[in-house]
Amino acid sequence: MKKLLTVFLIVIMLITMSSCQGVLINQDIPFYSEWMSYIEDDILVKEIVIPGSHDAGTIGMIYAAKTQSLPIYKQLIDGVRYFDIRVEKKKNAELVIYHSIAKGQTFTRVVDDILEFMNNNTTEFVILDFQHFKNESMDDVAAVIETRLSEYLINNETDLTDLDFIDSMSLESARGKILICWGSDVCADRAWAFRRNNDSGTLEDTVMESYYDSAYHKLDSADFISNAYPDYYERYIKKDKGLFVLQGQLTAKWVLGSPLDREIEHRDNMNNFVRNLKDKEEWLSYTNIIMRDFVNVGWEKIDAVLELNEYKGNIKEGMDFLSNLESLKSD
């Protein structure tokens, strides 16, 4: 059995991402690294529409696990501000990003990338969502956060509950800082660790809702959008508290399936859904974080998300946000 598993893993590792990847856009344009400077200071963080990265540190993984094509620093430069981070502790105690059985960048590299960006972009803020921990990595991750990111951390040192604190947090108070969302109550005594809900949304008083039903995400693209999103929005609207992550990725239907293949199937439908949110007044009002696979592949993914800030009235008076985006596309 072990031999069969070894052969299986070798076959997977020999298959690379050489299949069609679409056009990789490393925009490296100042607008994207400072887009939050266009947002009004008094806008609540839960009202801002933010591009998000699903399984953010998977660059370099085998094709069946890889969901992003750029390191986190490049994603930040291109406008991403929310990152789904999953950390495993290896036998040698090194912390690495993982997705299923695959391992990617070291957690040290992820932190280096975040620090490089934060040191040079004081108008922005970043959300790190630690959804999953593997091999008892949680305490080690917390120690790294407290040692290396402490000066940037958002802390709740008020009398408010964490949920009320996040619900009332303005962009002005968050600029230049990092919000840590935590997939466990183990660190509940730490002022910087804000408890997120589980995929089903069954926990109480958590600061972030991020629904995931695998049955939905294995559907074909059009069926996924027409079935999952009415359900996900309805669930969040009933709660109407905290941050809301709209998961925009499809899940591979079989063990050798590729996230990239599913994203190619899904990309145009999902881009159109995001653009059309401007015409869905109720859904638009609740839209906050939109998380995608291969978030930097193509202009449209990030631009479609950012444009929604104009339609929500988040842009500072006198700043022509949409025209700026349009001019960048035509350059």
Looking at residue 97, its pLDDT comes to 95
pLDDT, average across residues 157-164: 96
Does residue 3 have a pLDDT over 70? no
User: What sign for the dihedral angle of Cα 320, 325, 330, 331?
Assistant: positive
What is the C-alpha to C-alpha distance for residues 207 and 239, in angstroms, rounded to an integer? Answer: 11
Place of tokens 């109550």: 185
Q: How confident is the model at residue 328 (pLDDT cuts 50, 70, 90)?
A: low
* One-letter amino acid for residue 216 of the chain: Y
Among the listed residues 70, 13, 60, 65, the one whose alpha carbon sits nearest the alpha carbon of residue 257: 65
- Which residues are within 8 A (CB) of 159 and not within 5 positions of it... i.e. 6 or more apart? none
Name the region of 14 (left: φ>0; alpha: ψ -120 to 50; beta: rest).
Answer: alpha
Q: How confident is the model at residue 1 (pLDDT cuts 50, 70, 90)?
A: low
pLDDT, average across residues 265-290: 97
253 token code pair: 């239907």
Choose from 23-27, 117-121, 135-139, 182-186 the range with maximum mean pLDDT.
Answer: 117-121
In a 13 Å sphere around the CA of 290, the CA atoms on its Cβ side amount to 29
Phi, psi of 65, deg, nearest 5: -120, -20
Looking at residue 11, its pLDDT comes to 47
105 token code pair: 């960048």
Q: How confident is the model at residue 298 (pLDDT cuts 50, 70, 90)?
A: confident
Looking at residue 220, its pLDDT comes to 97
Cα 60 to its chain centre, rounded Å, is 18
β-partners of residue 51 are: 290
Torsion, CA 129, CA 110, CA 125, CA 291, rounded to 10: -50
pLDDT, average across residues 270-283: 98
130 token code pair: 């630690």
Q: Which of 165-169, 182-186, 311-315 has the lowest mean pLDDT?
A: 182-186
Sheet strands (E) in the chain:
50-53, 82-89, 95-99, 102-106, 126-134, 178-182, 193-195, 208-209, 243-247, 289-292
pLDDT, average across residues 251-270: 89
102 token code pair: 């695959």
7 by DSSP, 3-state: which? Answer: helix
> Which pTM was predicted?
0.92
Does residue 18 have a pLDDT over 50? no
Q: How confident is the model at residue 329 (pLDDT cuts 50, 70, 90)?
A: low
Domains and CATH numbers, the chain: 25-330 (3.20.20.190)
36 token code pair: 């939050």
Looking at residue 4, its pLDDT comes to 53
What is the C-alpha to C-alpha distance for residues 148 and 145, in angstroms, rounded to an integer? Answer: 6
Reported as a single tens digit per residue, the pLDDT across 34-91 is 999 999 999 999 999 999 999 999 998 988 899 999 999 999 999 999 999 999 999 9
Looking at residue 24, its pLDDT comes to 52
Among the listed residues 66, 56, 55, the one whose alpha carbon sits nearest the alpha carbon of residue 18: 66
